[in-house]
């Protein structure tokens, strides 16, 4: 069957681009099928959990606990839920660029089913991330452990999908210069961040902006397109906009669309300077040492030394070094002289500057990088 919508515009080169910074109303499978293939950099999906709540849950003081009993969370059974999951995941896979990634969040009710479907469809899991809630809802009946986390699965569209974005250094910087781990301690969305209507939660499952901040900052660049097929109150759009990313929301319920539109209108985009993140070393252009020689920053015959002038080597015209009867790359010769298994030649070798000081050759690489950019 042909899709009811065909969303997007044609660029000068004839390629289709999706409609950006908009909420598309309707069923996410239908709407995603109508968007151009391979046009989205990241998808964040917070699908129905299929909680299957039967009885009303009461606190010890008999007040009612807000569970998710909304119509959008109802399915006939696991078979129907699984069929729906495979449908939307298939549509999402088609939309992702080859370098794009998908995040799905869920609880024990659904995340294992989603995980199976993902792997069956050929998605390749990069991480499962535990969102540990600092302020979870207590277990009122005292018959189970407090359910204090949700799981996010982060994946590429296939095993061979290369070149996906992971802003490793930005994540490290966000974590006080320690590698970011896969367990994230983040509070539930409460206080002024929680959208209210007539004094009640406007959406039962509004996610904290901090969670989206981390996912979007980790996996996208400014100007990228982030899509959320289960937009709800628009958390993904709000954070994407603030971080200078484009966003597309899909939502079936009109009242949530109005809520999200209101929310997005007030979000300010951060300044360009504030949005620059610590660049990943791997994303910087690779500079072979030979280029430094070709460019004339060092000449054939120049001497290099280690920081304490214990070792010396001579630069050759092809960008190799010679010392102690051994020739090879800056790394190989450095390792050989020290009797070490490996050596980072860029930080090991130094060149003479006026006044008898030594500077690491990594400075020349930095100069080359700036010239190239
Ligand atoms: C778990 S909530 C997402 C909440 C959202 N992450 C937030 O922070 O507000 C799921 C949302 O998906 C919507 N939804 C459910 N099934 C849908 C479908 N087939 N197509 C589009 N939206 C759907 C629901 O109306 C609900 O708002």
* Model pLDDT for residues 148-194, shown as the tens digit of each residue: 999 999 999 999 988 999 999 999 999 989 999 999 999 999 999 99
* Model pLDDT for residues 103-129, shown as the tens digit of each residue: 999 999 999 999 999 999 999 999 999
Higher pLDDT, 237 or 9: 237
* Model pLDDT for residues 355-371, shown as the tens digit of each residue: 889 999 999 998 888 88
User: Ligand 1 pocket test: which of 48, 84, 105, 261 has the largest number of ligand atoms within 8 Å of its C-beta?
Assistant: 48
Q: Can you give the pLDDT at residue 43?
A: 98
Q: Can you give the pLDDT at residue 2?
A: 45
Strand partners for 149: 132
For the CA of 72, the nearest atom of ligand 1: 15
Tally of CB atoms within 10 A around 163: 9
Q: Is the CB of residue 155 less than 8 Å from the CB of residue 118?
A: yes
CA of 168 to the centre of ligand 1 (A): 30
Please say if the pLDDT value at position 1 is more than 90. no
* Model pLDDT for residues 268-322, shown as the tens digit of each residue: 998 888 888 877 776 677 888 998 999 899 999 999 999 999 999 999 999 999 9
Q: Can you give the pLDDT at residue 59?
A: 65
Residue list, ligand 1 pocket, CB within 6 Å = 27-28, 46, 48, 72, 203, 205-207, 230, 232-233, 235, 250-253, 256
For strand 22-25 and strand 124-133, is the pairing parallel, antiparallel, or unpaired? unpaired
CA of 246 to the centre of ligand 1 (A): 19
Please say if the pLDDT value at position 17 is more than 70. yes
Residue 65 binned pLDDT confidence (cut-offs 50, 70, 90): low
Q: Can you give the pLDDT at residue 301?
A: 94
CA of 51 to the centre of ligand 1 (A): 14
Q: How far apart are CA 24 and CA 3, in angstroms?
A: 14
Overall average pLDDT of the 207-228 stretch: 97
* Model pLDDT for residues 24-59, shown as the tens digit of each residue: 999 999 999 999 999 999 999 999 998 887 666 666
Tally of CB atoms within 10 A around 364: 20
> What tokens appear for 325 in the block?
């009867």
CA of 129 to the centre of ligand 1 (A): 21
pTM: 0.78
Average pLDDT of the chain, as a whole number: 91
Q: Can you give the pLDDT at residue 33?
A: 97
Buried b (16+ CB within 10 A) or exposed e, 122-156: ebeebeebbbebeeeeeeeeeeeeeeebbbbbbbb
Q: Can you give the pLDDT at residue 263?
A: 97
Closest CA to 32 of 228, 207, 238, 215: 228
Please say if the pLDDT value at position 196 is more than 50. yes
User: Ligand 1 pocket test: which of 72, 196, 207, 261 has the largest number of ligand atoms within 8 Å of its C-beta?
Assistant: 72
């Amino acid at each position: 069957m042909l899709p009811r919508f065909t969303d997007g515009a044609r660029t000068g080169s004839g390629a289709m681009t999706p409609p950006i910074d908009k909420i598309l109303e309707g069923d996410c499978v239908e709407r995603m099928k109508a968007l151009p293939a391979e046009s989205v950099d990241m998808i964040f999906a917070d699908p129905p959990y299929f909680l299957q709540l039967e009885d009303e849950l009461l606190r010890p003081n008999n007040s009612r606990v807000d569970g998710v009993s909304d119509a959008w969370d109802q399915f006939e059974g696991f078979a129907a839920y699984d069929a729906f999951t495979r449908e939307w995941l298939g549509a999402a896979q088609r939309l992702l660029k080859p370098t794009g990634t998908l995040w799905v969040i869920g609880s024990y009710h659904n995340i294992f089913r989603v995980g199976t479907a993902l792997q069956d469809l050929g998605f390749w899991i990069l991480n499962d991330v535990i969102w540990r809630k600092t302020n979870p809802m207590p277990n009122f009946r005292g018959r189970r452990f407090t359910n204090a986390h949700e799981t996010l699965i982060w994946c590429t569209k296939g095993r061979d999908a290369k070149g996906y974005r992971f802003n490793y250094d930005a994540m490290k910087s966000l974590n006080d210069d320690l590698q970011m781990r896969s367990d994230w301690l983040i509070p539930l969305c409460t206080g002024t961040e929680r959208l209210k209507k007539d004094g009640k939660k406007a959406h039962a499952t509004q996610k904290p902006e901090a969670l989206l901040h981390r996912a979007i900052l980790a996996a996208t660049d400014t100007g990228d397109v982030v899509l959320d097929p289960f937009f709800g109150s628009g958390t993904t759009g709000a954070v994407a906009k603030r971080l200078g990313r484009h966003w597309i929301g899909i939502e079936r319920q009109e009242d949530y669309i109005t809520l999200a539109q209101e929310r997005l209108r007030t979000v300010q985009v951060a300044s360009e300077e504030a949005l620059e993140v610590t660049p990943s070393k791997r994303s910087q252009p690779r500079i072979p040492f030979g280029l430094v020689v070709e460019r004339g920053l060092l000449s054939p015959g120049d001497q290099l030394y280690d920081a304490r002038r214990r070792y010396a080597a001579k630069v050759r015209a092809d960008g190799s070094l010679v010392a102690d009867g051994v020739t090879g790359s800056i790394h190989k010769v450095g390792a050989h002289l020290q009797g070490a298994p490996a050596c980072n030649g860029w930080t090991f070798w130094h060149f003479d500057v006026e006044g008898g000081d030594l500077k690491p050759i990594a400075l020349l690489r930095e100069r080359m990088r700036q010239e190239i950019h």
